[in-house]
A and B are shown apart, each in its own frame.
Chain A
Amino acid sequence: MQITRQIKKRLGKTILSVILIAIAAIFLFPLVLTITNSFMSQQEIDNNYSMVISKDSSQENSAFSGKYANVKLIPNMVTLKQYYTALIKKTEFLIKFWNSAIIVVPIIVGQVLVSSMAAYAFAKIEFIFRDKLFFTYIIIMMMPFQVTLVPNYIMASKLGLVGSYASIILPGIFGTFGVFLMRQFMIYIPDAYIESAKVDGASHFKIFFSIILPMSKTGLAALSILVFIDNWNMVEQPLIFLQDVNMHPLSIYLSNINSGEMGIAFAASTIYMLPMLLVFLYGESYLVQGIQLSGLKG
């Protein structure tokens, strides 16, 4: 009796695991397809997918060509040719990769710095209109892109920044998400630390740099990762602010790859997601904490 119940329990556990593994496999499929196909030869990729990409996408109705795409996860012959083409033979790809980095790195550094300072004020210092100001920050944070891009653009054109990276980087640095997240984190740091430092005669400046920042390492890591994810993905801003295609980041370049270059598309996509995957493997716990933090009410 006891044993059959145990077997039943085990069986249930196994069935559940199998179902979940199947769902997870579906979730991972786009990734696996992209990575494995990046090791295929140009010819094999053309054979498998040319009917999907080669036609003009602006057509009103696409016609069926009589042949379907053939999804394959294992290359006939593994080759690094696509990586060679993307990284060494074609300079265009590396330039776009560099463009992405030029935009993202200052935004991360800037937003982490600016918003952790502001967050400290919101979390630990009493000042006039504090709650009203914070509410304004939150409202701006929640506004969809479509709304905030308009004031961003108006100011960029007034300052003569349109067409330069500054027009994207500066609004990125002053985005209010970081302030919100870091306040959520700092509010849970016990006031006692600050009070005892004050008794020792430490200034707020000193308290911030030698107590609060070191104690907020987890929060800072979480914020960096979330800002990195959001901006590495950037599509809207470059489309509007950067008329010069040569300045566009990789995200937009990848969406415009045409039939002739399909071979390198998978390799390029893989390289593009590599920094994110590394960050994920290294900092998954920070990412999870950052998401959880955004859900706490303070």
Chain B
Amino acid sequence: MSALLKTKIKYNNKTALFFLVPSLIGFLIFFFIPFVGGLYYSFVDSPIGGRFVGLANYMELMKNPVFLKAGYNTLVFTVISVPLNILLSLGLALLLNRRIYGRNILRMGFIIPLVVPVASVVLVWQILFDINGALNSFISWLGLSPIDWMKTDFARIVVVIVYLWKNMGYNMVLFLAGLQKIPPEYYESADIDGAGNWHKFIHITLVYLTPTTFFVFVMSIINSFKVFREVYLISGAYPHDSIYMLQHYMNNKFAALDYQMLTSAAFIMAVFFYILVLFLFKIQRKISSTIGG
């Protein structure tokens, strides 16, 4: 049927172009052309009158300990924070989806961090996580020895907490919307069959949340790359080793105007990301064809 319809489609290229032109011009100038053109820099040894060096820049980058460290840190952060974010925001959404007192006001409380500028609360994080900070005050009150949160590997935990604070609201909104779309009849007929709560959760809730979860997963990964803002604002251009992210590396290359390394790094990341996105879309197609959503 759909194949039949497709043959009948009449292209209206001129009208489409009229509406697309402003966006297309900007897209080409600021993203597409310089992106492709940037490839050139990654294959030469100097931005002006450079010699073709093949993959030498890439090889050098893959051997560069600072780049590898930054890539590793970014990966570790994403692998820890994304699943945590999904689990916690799903939990919150499930709780908020019940009939409880003050639901709307509570929901607001969880969304607000989303709109609060990172820079506005940097002071608060510093007050909490500094060696002389409020958290250590509490820890020493418990009789334990204080922790140097920002200058040891604990910095990773701090960054995860800050990321969760900011990003859980977004996922929670998506999960709530997903939950509300599950027809209540499914639960009612499961009740008639005498299904337990756990059974209903696994076989109805989770199954029908799969498309939402997939999207939440993609968005969480994208947003996890933005955590640099917090890290930079809290601890500057050279933070503790464990939270030195890819963006720190790129920023410092910008400062040195090292085009070759910049473009090579950008392309490695772009390819990595492109494969990731394609892979995720493939999985999604498989999932939605099995549950028919």
Whether B85 sits at the interface, judged by CB under 8 Å, is no
For residue B147, give the distance in angstroms from its CB to the closest CB of chain A.
10
- Cβ–Cβ contact B170 & A233, under 8 A: no
Q: A140-B27, A174-B31 are in contact. Are A251 and B119 (CB under 8 A)?
A: yes
Whether A117 sits at the interface, judged by CB under 8 Å, is yes
Q: A16-B100, A60-B151, A146-B266 are in contact. Are A294 and B219 (CB under 8 A)?
A: yes
CA distance A91 to B123 in the complex (A): 21
Q: A114-B22, A121-B20, A147-B266 are in contact. Are A240 and B127 (CB under 8 A)?
A: no
For residue B89, give the distance in angstroms from its CB to the closest CB of chain A.
12
CA distance A22 to B133 in the complex (A): 22
Q: In B1-56, which residues have CB < 8 Å from any A CB? A: 9-13, 15-20, 22-24, 26-27, 29-35, 37-38, 41
- Cβ–Cβ contact A269 & B31, under 8 A: no
Whether A126 sits at the interface, judged by CB under 8 Å, is yes
CA distance A25 to B1 in the complex (A): 54
Whether A229 sits at the interface, judged by CB under 8 Å, is yes
Dominant SS among interface residues on chain A: helix
CA distance A12 to B31 in the complex (A): 54
- Cβ–Cβ contact A277 & B102, under 8 A: no
| CB-defined contacts of B246 to chain A, threshold 8 Å | 144, 146
CA distance A201 to B22 in the complex (A): 26
- Contact bitstring A135-173, B, C-beta under 8 A = 1, else 0: 011011011111111111111001000000000001101
- Cβ–Cβ contact A142 & B222, under 8 A: yes
- Cβ–Cβ contact A147 & B26, under 8 A: no
For residue A204, give the distance in angstroms from its CB to the closest CB of chain B.
5
Q: List 18 A-B contacts (CB under 8 A).
A: A27-B110, A27-B165, A52-B133, A60-B151, A64-B146, A69-B134, A71-B127, A113-B22, A140-B27, A145-B226, A149-B250, A151-B38, A151-B266, A233-B118, A233-B119, A254-B233, A284-B108, A295-B219
Question: Which chain A residues have a beta carbon within 8 Å of chain B's beta carbons?
Answer: 13-14, 16-17, 19-21, 23-25, 27-31, 33-34, 49, 51-53, 57-65, 67-71, 113-115, 117-118, 120-121, 125-128, 130, 136-137, 139-140, 142-155, 158, 170-171, 173-174, 176, 179, 204-205, 208, 229, 232-233, 235-236, 239-240, 250-252, 254-255, 257, 265-266, 269-270, 272-273, 276-277, 279-280, 284, 287-288, 291-292, 294-295, 297
